[in-house]
Amino acid sequence: MDGVLIIDKPKGITSTRVVEKVRRKLKAKVGHTGTLDPIATGILLLTVGRATRFSWIFTGLEKGYRVHGVLGLITDTYDLEGEVLEKREVRVSCEDLEGVLKRFCGEIEQVPPPYSAKKVGGKRAYRLARKGVKPQLKPVRVKIYRIELSWCRIPEFEIYTEVSSGTYVRSLVNDIGKELSSGAVVKDLTRERVGPFTLREAVPLEEFLDSEDPWRFVIPIDRSLSFLPKVSLDFFKGRKVLNGNPVLVEGDLQEGYVRIYIDETFVGVGVHRSGVLKPERLLIPEGLLQS
């Protein structure tokens, strides 16, 4: 089966290690669509089998995080797992914190954490940081769609935020601490949403690994892509698409990525622009359109 697996990652394990465990359990090709720090829990969206061909679509989805932060600390990793570089007296109120959060809503420039998988000169930033080399990371433009204070008991607080792909929540919390002149680090972090997928749909890693029928948790690829509009083609246009050619489509169809079906059979993803459908990534069932 080709599809998507929504794992609820426990704290203290790397995303790579989760992928290895799932791969051994399923005895199939498995990839992730965005890592989670070892300190983080929550949704780790994995692609299984030929669904790995569509990983880029899932990687680009918005994410939702619940973050438990602590004011008054600065660490080298921007979380409680790192070395404490400085302790500061906290002279801010919950109202001050809430006011600062509003400044981060919208498009912002953000510098990734020194301990991150971002590449600098072809090397991972965290590898350089572990060797005592301060990586020269460039700011990237990200978008904060939503950020709100869930609760506040100074020096600790919790926020919920929805962000664009590529946003580093540890950097966000670090920057909030800078704005308050108090410093701030992440204590706990949970990814609660990836696009349309929520934590309620996720299976805990240990439950998956202990299951006698682990494949029942894998969502078929076409259903996992159901957030994309559907385009159904007839035999003639379908053959053209399977040969890599664009076709004209009619109807009120939004522009962007779409799921392509031929005779109700899912065959891949295409891009729709101004009435023209171009195949982007195909997954052709054996024997389809043979004549």
Residue at 206 is within a domain: yes
108 and 74 fall within a common domain: yes
Render pLDDT for 112-146 as a digit per residue (tens, 0 to 9).
887 555 555 555 545 545 655 566 668 889 999 99
- Residue 269, beta-bridge partner list: 259, 281
Residues with Cβ within 8 Å of residue 200, at least 6 apart in sequence: none
Q: In a 3-state reduction of DSSP, which class is residue 263?
A: coil
The long-range contacts involving 15-24, CB below 8 angstroms and separated by at least 24 positions, are: 15/44, 18/44, 18/46, 18/205, 19/46, 21/205, 21/209, 22/46, 22/208, 22/209
Low-confidence ranges of the chain (pLDDT < 50): 125, 128, 291
Residue at 188 is within a domain: yes
How high is the pLDDT of residue 128?
A: 47
- The domain that holds 9 is classified in CATH as 3.30.2350.10
Render pLDDT for 39-77 as a digit per residue (tens, 0 to 9).
999 999 999 999 999 999 999 999 999 999 999 999 989
78 and 146 fall within a common domain: yes
74 and 189 fall within a common domain: yes
pTM for this predicted structure: 0.90
Q: Structure tokens of 147? A: 């950020």
3-class secondary structure per residue, 230-258: EEEECHHHHHHHHCCCCEECCCCCCCEEE
109 and 218 fall within a common domain: no
- Residue 257, beta-bridge partner list: 271
99 and 212 fall within a common domain: no
Helix (H) or strand (E) holding 125: helix 125-130
Can you tell me the distance from the alpha carbon of 152 to that of 72, in angstroms, rounded to the nearest whole number?
A: 14
Q: Structure tokens of 2? A: 């080709």
Residue at 289 is within a domain: no
Can you tell me the distance from the alpha carbon of 157 to that of 99, in angstroms, rounded to the nearest whole number?
A: 14
Can you tell me the distance from the alpha carbon of 51 to that of 49, in angstroms, rounded to the nearest whole number?
A: 5
Can you tell me the distance from the alpha carbon of 196 to that of 209, in angstroms, rounded to the nearest whole number?
A: 24
Looking at the 3D structure of the chain, how many domains does it have? 3
How high is the pLDDT of residue 289?
A: 53
How high is the pLDDT of residue 34?
A: 85
The catalytic residue among 8, 37, 175, 222 is 37
The residue segments making up the domain with residue 260 are 228-282
105 and 179 fall within a common domain: yes
Can you tell me the distance from the alpha carbon of 212 to that of 269, in angstroms, rounded to the nearest whole number?
A: 32
The long-range contacts involving 247-250, CB below 8 angstroms and separated by at least 24 positions, are: 247/276, 247/277, 248/275, 248/276, 248/277, 249/275, 249/276, 249/277, 250/275
186 and 204 fall within a common domain: no
Residue 188 falls in the annotated catalytic set: no
How high is the pLDDT of residue 122?
A: 57
Question: β-pairing, 247-248 with 256-262?
Answer: unpaired
